[in-house]
Amino acid sequence: MLKQLEILNARYLQARFVSRPLMFNKPSGTSRGVLTEKPCWYLIVTDEVGNSGIGECGPIWGLSLEQPETYERELARVCDLINDFPLVFEDGQLNLFPSIRFGLETALLDLATGSRQQPYPSPFTEGADGMRINGLIWMGTRENMLAQINEKLKNGFRCLKLKIGAIDWSTEQEILGGIREHYPPEQLELRVDANGAFGTHEALQKIKLLHKLHLHSIEQPIQPGNWQAMAELCRQSPVPIALDEELIGVYGATQAQLLDTIKPQYLILKPSLLGGIEVCEQWIKLADERNIGWWVTSMLESNVGLNTIAQWTYTLNNPMPQGLGTGQLYKNNLPSPLYLNGEYIKYNPAEDWDLDVILGQR
């Protein structure tokens, strides 16, 4: 449990949740299909004088550990036991519901720090500094992906992350080759994310073909759970490998076992997917001890979840481009102080939050 939450132990708390699915502006392609909406629940924790903290619980069915049929039941359990929240964190049940753990952790953190949606005050929240992020290119047709790439480059991004593995392999190579032909590595960093789309017997061959494109890294080339195959791939691959889905559901002593077995070059840390900020900080500590690089990525949260992730990430002082969006994907996102300035995510402290739609005031 985060140390900042100890201040809440003496307060009487109540909790509730509201469902508010996020609607995409346009269908977004992933290796798991095309997304048109994303489930989202807001967990609201209120103290005896009416102050409220808000956290976001946002799974992605088929990727997250959670199952739709038991999700709201667990949210209700958490709300019923809110005054025993230290035990809720420790009983192990939330390991099966990592996005709820993240939502509970951040709702309590918001409440403990003044209910201002500023859990990590810093030069970032003062508007004095920003963070470099990568531009995310969604899977789609060749024309659609090229249009996305051109837009990101026009907006000043120097690091692009492309989802691969869902369209024709030769077309993907052609798109990547076309980018590199016009933008050498010193001008543009290229990351690719296969989401486990490569077979274990073809992965190394495909990665060797990608190597000539001078990629920064490839995320999760094969399906998670194949530790020995992934370890061999990390040992032989000419392109650095980042673990993503491989980290899902891994807690405690198994975290170190995984890293010592696979020996990856990078970790991708998604608080909503891995069980919150405290769990991600455990991964960071283990990675730093082993000279494994890492960066933080959001997981299609609304601005509520993204805000906490961005503020926390800034305090980590990681100079690499982070995988943080700005909530521009959704029709019904909440306005927030977060905004993009070129390839930087920034925070405007003069902008107010409009949380009434969550709190039920309208």
Name which of 15, 124, 128, 27 is nearest 80 in CA terms.
Answer: 15
Can 206 be counted among the known catalytic residues? no
How buried is residue 288: exposed, middle or buried, by Cβ count under 10 Å (0-12/13-18/19+)? Answer: exposed
Which residues does 239 contact at the CB level (< 8 Å), separation at least 6?
A: 207, 210, 211, 215, 217, 218
| Residue in 38, 163, 206, 346 annotated catalytic | 163
7-to-1, 10, 58, 113 alpha-carbon distances in Å = 12, 7, 26, 9
| Residue in 38, 152, 161, 270 annotated catalytic | 270
Can 270 be counted among the known catalytic residues? yes
Scan for tokens 């700005």, then name that residue.
Answer: 326
Residue 174 CB neighbours (<10 A): 12
Name the residues annotated as catalytic. 163, 270
